[in-house]
Amino acid sequence: MERVKKRLNPRVVRAVLIFIITCAALYIVEYVIYARAVATVFIYATVYPPIFVLMYYIFGKRRQKKEQPEEFTKARINVAYMVLACFYVFYILYMLTGNTMRLSGWQILAVFTAFVIIALLHKNRGQNFDINFSADAASIVYSMILIVTAIFLIVTRPLTVAGAKKILEESGRRNVSFVTHYPPEEELTDAGARSFGVYSFVYESGGASVYVDVASGSITEESP
C-alpha cells in the first residue's frame, strides 16, 4: 500500500479527479437537466485527453531521445505563443460579435484563457513540460470549464426540462410528457426562433403538442 502511495503523483490524481468531475457535470447539464437545449463541450472534453496521453507515450519518448538545440526549442515555443495569442484575440471578437448565448462557445473561450494562463506560468517560471506541469495545466483547463459553466447558467437561467413540465402542469394540463428539444435554427414556432430553442411536450387533451420556450418559459400550443 505504501509503495502505491509513493507511486501516485498527487498532481496527477488531482487532475484526473477534476477531469472526471467536469465531464460528469457537463454530461448531466447537457443531456439530463437541459436535454441538449444547452450545448456543452462534453464530447471534446471527454475524448481529447486520452488521445493526448496516447500521443505523448507514442511520440513523446521518441522526441526525448532526439535532443533539439536550445535556440530552436525556444523559437518554436515563441511561435506557439504567438499563434495562441492570435487565436485568443480572434475568438474573443468572434464571441462578442456572434451568439453570446452559446455555453459551448464560452467554454472554448475558457479553454483558450486557461492556455494563456498556462503559457504565462511556463514563461515566467521557466517550468519544463513534464508530467507535473501537464497535470497542473489539465487541472486549470477543466477547472475553468466548470467555473464558466456555473457562471453561464447562473446569469442566463435557462429553463430546465423539469421546470418546463412544472409550468405546463400548473397551467392545468395533465399527463404531460416530454418529447424532445428543438434548437433555435429549426424555428418550428415563434418561440423556436429564440436563443435556446423550445422544449416539445404532449399532454392528454387529444395528444396536442405544446412548446415551451427555454429562455422565457412562454407557451405555444399546436392543434392536434
Digit-coded pLDDT (tens) for 116-152: 888 777 666 655 566 777 888 889 999 999 999 999 9
Q: 61 and 150, same structural domain?
A: yes
The percent of residues in the chain predicted with pLDDT above 70, rounded, is 74
Q: Which of 118, 139, 156 is the last residue of a domain?
A: 156
Q: 149 and 42, same structural domain?
A: yes
Q: 93 and 54, same structural domain?
A: yes
| pTM to 2 decimal places | 0.79
Range of the domain at 133: 2-156
Which pLDDT does position 8 carry in this prediction? 79
**Averaged pLDDT for residues 183-198:** 61
The total number of structural domains that make up the chain: 2
Q: 199 and 90, same structural domain?
A: no
Q: 205 and 125, same structural domain?
A: no
For residue 193, name the pLDDT band (cuts at 50, 70, 90): very low
Q: 216 and 136, same structural domain?
A: no
Listed range (79-83, 124-128, 171-175, 190-194) with the worst mean pLDDT: 190-194
What secondary structure, in 3-state letters, does the chain show? CHHHHHHCCHHHHHHHHHHHHHHHHHHHHHHHHCCCCCCCCHHHHHHHHHHHHHHHHHHHHHHHHCCCCHHHHHHHHHHHHHHHHHHHHHHHHHHHHCCCCCHHHHHHHHHHHHHHHHHHHHHHHCCCCCHHHHHHHHHHHHHHHHHHHHHHHHHHCCCCHHHHHHHHHHCCCCCCEEEEEECHHHCCCCHHHCCCCEEEEECCCCCCEEEEECCCCCEEEECC
For residue 76, name the pLDDT band (cuts at 50, 70, 90): low
Q: Pick 221 or 21 by higher pLDDT.
A: 21
Q: Which of 156, 171, 203 is the last residue of a domain?
A: 156
Q: 168 and 89, same structural domain?
A: no
Average pLDDT across the chain, whole number: 80
- Is the pLDDT at 70 greater than 60, yes or no? no
Q: 218 and 130, same structural domain?
A: no
Which pLDDT does position 188 carry in this prediction? 47
The percent of residues in the chain predicted with pLDDT above 90, rounded, is 38
Q: 203 and 126, same structural domain?
A: no
Q: 128 and 72, same structural domain?
A: yes
Q: 34 and 121, same structural domain?
A: yes
- Is the pLDDT at 30 greater than 50, yes or no? yes
